[in-house]
Amino acid sequence: MAEEIESPANEQDVTRLSRRTRHRETAARRPRAAAPAKTAPATTTARSASSPVKAPNRAIKPLRSLVILSMVGGLVATVAIPAFAAARPTDEAVTIQQMAADDAQSFVAASDANATQLSRESYSATTAEEIEKKKAAEAAAERARLAAQAAAASASRPGIKVDLSMVAPGTGAVRWPLTNFTMGEGFGTRGGAHMGIDMLASGGTPIYAAAAGVVKVSQESYGGYGVAVTIDHVINGQRVGTLYGHMTYGSRQVVPGQTVEAGQIIGLVGSTGRSTANHLHFETYLNGSNIDPLAWLQQNAG
C-alpha cells in the first residue's frame, strides 16, 4: 500500500521533472531559432534594396546633362539671333524709304550732297494744265512762223497784197471758204472720182475756215492735194469735216490741234499737188462720208 501511495507521487514528480526539462529545452531552443539570421543575408538584402535606388541616378545624369546643354543653347541663341538680325549685308542697297521706315525721325544725307537751285527749264511739264499751256505756246509760235512765211510769199509775187487778218463775210455758223470764185469741176465728176468741188480763184486769194472746229491736218505735202488743211467740226450735233487743197506753199496759218473760228483765214489759194491751175479743192464729210460741198454750203452758209 505504501508503494501504491508513493508511486503516484513519484510519477507526478517524474512528470514534473520532465515538463521542466522540456520547458528549459524549449526556452533554450528559442534563441537558437532566431540566431540563424546571419549578417551576410542582411547585407545581401540591403544591397538588393539599395540596387533599385541606383537605377534612377543613372537615368538622371544624362537627363541633367541634356537640360544643361539645352539651357546653354538657349542662351547662345538669345544672344546671337538679335545680333544677326540687326546686321545687314554690306552689299545690300538701302533706299531712303527703307531708312525712313526704320527711323521716321531721322534723315541721312550724303556728305557730298550740295544744294541746287532748280528752274522751270530744268524739267518738263507733267500736269494737264502745263501741257495745254505748252501746246498753246507752240501753236502760237507756229502760227507766227507761218504768217511770216505767208507774208514773205505774198511779197515775192508782184500785184498780190493780202490782209491776213481778214475774215469771211457773214454771221452764220457756216461760211463760204472763198468770197469770189468761179465754179470748176463739181462733185462726182471724172466718173465719180472727184469727191469735192473746184473753186477757181487767183493765186494768193485768202481761204477761210468754213466753220469753227479743230485743225486735224496741216501739211505742205498731203498726197495729191499738195499744201492742204483739214478741220473737224461739230455742227447741229453732227460730225462734219472739211478739206482745203492745193494752197500756196508756206501760206498755211494753222497747225494740227489748233482751234479755229468760222471765217478765220487758214491759207492762200495756190496750185500745188496734182493741179494745173490756181484753185481751191474743197471737200466736206458728214459723219465720215463724202457729201456734195456746194449743196451743203448753199443750204448752211450765211
Q: Where are the domains of the chain?
A: 142-300
Write phi, then psi, for 228 (nearest 5 degrees): -145, 160
The answer to whether the CB of 258 falls within 8 A of the CB of 139 is yes
Q: What is the distance of C-alpha 107 from the center of its chain?
A: 27
Residue 270's DSSP bridge partners are 279
DSSP label at 248? P
All three cell numbers of 127:
500736269
Tell me which amino acid residue 131 is. I
Beta carbons within 10 angstroms of residue 143's beta carbon: 15
In this prediction, residue 65 carries a pLDDT of 81
Q: Strand, coil or helix: what is 85?
A: helix
pLDDT at residue 108, rounded to an integer: 56
Report pTM: 0.49
pLDDT of residue 189: 86
pLDDT tens track of the chain, all 302 residues? 444 444 444 545 545 555 555 555 555 555 554 445 454 444 444 444 444 545 556 667 777 788 888 888 877 777 666 655 555 555 566 666 666 555 555 555 555 556 656 555 555 657 888 888 888 888 888 767 766 665 555 555 444 455 656 677 777 899 999 988 999 888 888 887 888 999 999 999 999 999 999 999 999 999 999 999 999 999 988 999 999 999 999 999 999 999 999 999 999 999 999 999 999 999 999 998 999 999 999 999 87
Separation of alpha carbons 49 and 298, rounded Å: 134
CATH topology assigned to domain 142-300: Glucose Permease (Domain IIA) (2.70.70)
CB-CB contact of 272 with 246 (8 Å): yes
Q: Which residues of 37-66 are buried (b: 16+ CB within 10 A; e: fewer)?
A: eeeeeeeeeeeeeeeeeeeeeeeeeeeeee
